[in-house]
Amino acid sequence: MAFIQVIDDESSVCWAIEKLGTKLGHEVRVASTAEKGLDLLQEKHPDLMFLDVRLPGMSGLEALPKVKSIAPETPVVLITAFGDLEVAVEAVRQGTFDYLVKPFSIEDIQTVIDRALAKPSEVADVRPETVSAEMVGTSAAMQQVFKRIALAARSMAPIVIQGESGTGKELVAQAIHRYGPRHDRPFVTVNIAALAPSLIESELFGHVRGAFTHAIQDKPGFLQQADGGTLFLDEVAEIPLPTQAKLLRALEQQEVVPVGGSSGKKVDFRIVCASHQDLSACVKQGAFRHDLLFRLNTFHIELPPLRQRREDIAPLVYHFLQQLEEKYEKPLRISPSAMEDLEQRPWYGNVRELRNAIEHAQILARGGVIEKEHLPPPVTKDWFDGAGGEESQEDRLTADIRAWTRQETGRGSTENLWGRFQTLAEKEILRELLEECDGQYLAIARILGIHRTTVKKKCEQYGLLSPEQPDE
Ligand SMILES: Nc1ncnc2c1ncn2[C@@H]1O[C@H](COP(=O)(O)OP(=O)(O)OP(=O)(O)O)[C@@H](O)[C@H]1O
């Protein structure tokens, strides 16, 4: 039989834990304030304590260090009415065993009791620091995300964050760094998708003077810049295969060899990666190395799309309104019908789209109440890869261009890559337009917005001249 103590001013919570605890054969004592609970604690140390964060008088978070100093061996489960990232981080930091977000079920209480009584409590060794409310989310899914951020922050393990565009992957990476032991060291963000494929390797690993035509001096890469801190690789699936092999080597050996260099430099950084793609699927398609994924994916955080956690919409709206109020120094309000509209939208662009919609609306509302008509139209599915929308012709084309580039660099066939691509593209555009315009150079030139003689020269160069050229 174990001894469980509950400190909560809500009688229904005390009743539920008392009833279940007694049924499981334990002794349960309840107190409605932290002060009363601490008195009881002096008398006898419990095997498990449930502690509410919001209490009349001393709060749960204030009481927690006192509980820890009186009964350091007691696992403490924090109870919160709303769980935000700060509570999660504070809970982990102060060595609480777990936390429960109200409303919770009897099964949740039982799971926590079973785990706590089976396992000694863990004491966190992360130092205290001031935290700010930068990530919003009251949904159960976001509560899980907050818990995982808090746990991830304590370790130096590589983390993979997955989620659609705009779900907050970068924010999660920043939080992991900020709440981690190296928060005062550099946080280096690299968006791989924004780099030219031919430059990815030298941007990541740096280069030595003379490594290529424009390498006029040694330049350290992002891996070196992150030394001592965190390297955040956004859209990691876009790294070309040969560079993936080099990254794996660097991670295994904790050493960076710059492009054109012969010796490595020791580096020590934490790696956090993000992708909107399913990396396991990329491995199956041969676009991502399985050994690299295995190395990176020690701990996984999945960010659900906003449409799957609609209860987060209103808190996010108020959060963004508050940010804008601070920026424009004036109070902002939103009408119930506008809020209802926002709560029903599909949000294919996720939180980023919501933030932009609020900013757009407050400009149109000119300081008045934000109404439905001030909101921009919702973004449609086909804007986003991975949102399940129909792929547009342009999406397919850009995906093909990238696949081709990857294939060529993967084979080491990089000679005159740009020129070969231009030839491929130009030839096919001209071939199509020659047909559409009956071979008239002037008409083609008008469509393409280039000079007629350029069209003629290119057609000759690509051998596209037809014997019946009407304007020749
Ligand atoms: N839970 C949240 N609370 C507050 N703001 C959020 C939250 N999630 C996302 N945001 C905001 O939404 C915007 C997009 O977030 P972020 O850049 O982290 O998304 P992302 O998933 O990394 O996007 P992408 O894949 O396109 O790079 C940012 O302005 C960020 O501050």
How much is the average pLDDT of 138-164?
89
Q: What is the residue whose two structure tokens read 């930091």?
A: 93
Q: What is the mean pLDDT of the chain?
A: 85
How much is the average pLDDT of 307-324?
91
How far apart are the CA of 165 and the centre of ligand 1, in A? 8
Is the CB of 304 within 6 Å of ligand 1?
no
385 has a pLDDT exceeding 70: no
Residue at a domain's end among 302, 322, 343: 302
Percentage of the residues of the chain whose pLDDT score is greater than 70: 92
179 has a pLDDT exceeding 50: yes
pTM of the predicted structure, to 2 decimals:
0.65
pLDDT at 86: 75
pLDDT at 18: 93
404, part of any domain: no
97 has a pLDDT exceeding 90: no
How far apart are the CA of 170 and the centre of ligand 1, in A? 6
9 has a pLDDT exceeding 80: yes
CA 78 vs CA 91, 96, 397: distances in Å: 7, 7, 52
**Candidate of 82, 350, 351 to mutate for ligand 1, largest count of ligand atoms within 8 Å of Cβ:** 351
How far apart are the CA of 106 and the centre of ligand 1, in A? 34
pLDDT at 88: 74
Instruction: Please tell me whether residues 216 and 71 are part of one structural domain.
Output: no
The strand order across the sheet containing 230-234 reads 187-191, 230-234, 270-275, 159-162, 299-302
Is the CB of 238 within 6 Å of ligand 1?
no
**Candidate of 308, 352, 354, 383 to mutate for ligand 1, largest count of ligand atoms within 8 Å of Cβ:** 352
Is the CB of 276 within 6 Å of ligand 1?
yes
How much is the average pLDDT of 400-408?
81
pLDDT at 130: 27
> In a 10 Å sphere around its CB, with 0-12 CB exposed, 13-18 middle and 19+ buried, how is residue 137 labelled?
buried
Residue at a domain's end among 359, 379, 399: 379
175 has a pLDDT exceeding 90: yes
Nearest CA to ligand 1 atom 8: 168
* Beta pairing, strands 206-207 & 219-220: antiparallel
- Closest-CA residue to 228 (of 190, 187, 269): 269
pLDDT at 73: 85
Is the CB of 309 within 6 Å of ligand 1?
no
| Structural domains in the chain (count) | 4
Nearest CA to ligand 1 atom 10: 168
pLDDT at 129: 28
Is the CB of 169 within 6 Å of ligand 1?
yes
Is the CB of 168 within 6 Å of ligand 1?
yes
Instruction: Please tell me whether residues 33 and 110 are part of one structural domain.
Output: yes
pLDDT band at 121, cuts 50/70/90?
A: very low
pLDDT at 269: 93
Helices 140-154 and 169-178: crossing angle, nearest 10°?
40
Instruction: Please tell me whether residues 369 and 265 are part of one structural domain.
Output: no
410, part of any domain: no
pLDDT at 95: 73
Instruction: Please tell me whether residues 194 and 148 are part of one structural domain.
Output: yes
Which of ligand 1's atoms lies nearest the C-alpha of 355? 12
Here the CATH number for the domain that contains residue 437 is 1.10.10
Residue of higher predicted confidence among 465 and 364: 364
User: Range of 447's domain?
Assistant: 415-461
Phi, psi angles (nearest 5°) of residue 228: 90, -15
Is the CB of 359 within 6 Å of ligand 1?
no
223, part of any domain: yes
How far apart are the CA of 175 and the centre of ligand 1, in A? 12
Distance between CA atoms of 228 and 250, rounded to whole angstroms? 15
pLDDT at 132: 36
Range with top average pLDDT, 194-198, 213-217, 424-428: 424-428
pLDDT at 107: 85
How far apart are the CA of 352 and the centre of ligand 1, in A? 6
55, part of any domain: yes
CA 170 vs CA 97, 215, 466: distances in Å: 27, 31, 54
How far apart are the CA of 349 and the centre of ligand 1, in A? 10
467, part of any domain: no
Helix (H, G, I), strand (E, B) or coil at 250: helix
ipTM entry: 0.98
* Beta pairing, strands 255-256 & 265-266: antiparallel
Instruction: Please tell me whether residues 267 and 292 are part of one structural domain.
Output: yes
Is the CB of 301 within 6 Å of ligand 1?
no
Here the CATH number for the domain that contains residue 94 is 3.40.50.2300
370, part of any domain: yes
pLDDT band at 84, cuts 50/70/90?
A: low
pLDDT band at 82, cuts 50/70/90?
A: low
pLDDT at 37: 94
Is the CB of 141 within 6 Å of ligand 1?
no
How much is the average pLDDT of 129-147?
72
Is the CB of 387 within 6 Å of ligand 1?
no
How much is the average pLDDT of 245-250?
94
How far apart are the CA of 64 and the centre of ligand 1, in A? 32
469, part of any domain: no
Distance between CA atoms of 439 and 430, rounded to whole angstroms? 10
How far apart are the CA of 355 and the centre of ligand 1, in A? 9
Residue of higher predicted confidence among 412 and 303: 303
- DSSP letter at 199? G
Q: Residues 236, 272: contact at Cβ < 8 Å?
A: no
- Beta partners for 29? 5
Residue at a domain's end among 355, 379, 403: 379
Nearest CA to ligand 1 atom 12: 352
How far apart are the CA of 400 and the centre of ligand 1, in A? 28
Residue of higher predicted confidence among 176 and 404: 176
pLDDT at 288: 92
How much is the average pLDDT of 177-189?
91
400 has a pLDDT exceeding 90: no
Instruction: Please tell me whether residues 269 and 180 are part of one structural domain.
Output: yes
Here the CATH number for the domain that contains residue 208 is 3.40.50.300
How much is the average pLDDT of 334-347?
92
How far apart are the CA of 57 and the centre of ligand 1, in A? 36
For 427-472, the pLDDT digits (tens) are 999 988 888 888 888 888 888 888 889 999 998 888 887 555 554 4
